[in-house]
Amino acid sequence: MDMHIHMGYCTPAGFDVLTLNYLGIHDHHRLFPEIKQLIGEVEITPAEVAEHLMRSEDVDLALEGVIDLLKQKKEEKIEKKQGKGRNAGRTE
Question: pLDDT tens digit string along 13-35?
Answer: 999 999 999 999 987 899 999 99
Number of domains in the chain: 1
Residue 6 belongs to a domain: no
Residue 7 belongs to a domain: no
Residue 39 sits in which domain range?
Answer: 12-87
With 0-12 / 13-18 / 19 or more C-beta atoms within 10 angstroms meaning exposed / middle / buried, residue 52 is buried
Residue 3 belongs to a domain: no
Question: pTM of the full predicted structure?
Answer: 0.81
Residue 32 belongs to a domain: yes
Question: pLDDT tens digit string along 62-90?
Answer: 999 999 999 999 999 999 989 877 665 55
| Cβ pair 62, 23 in contact under 8 A | yes
Question: pLDDT tens digit string along 25-61?
Answer: 987 899 999 999 999 999 999 999 999 999 999 999 9
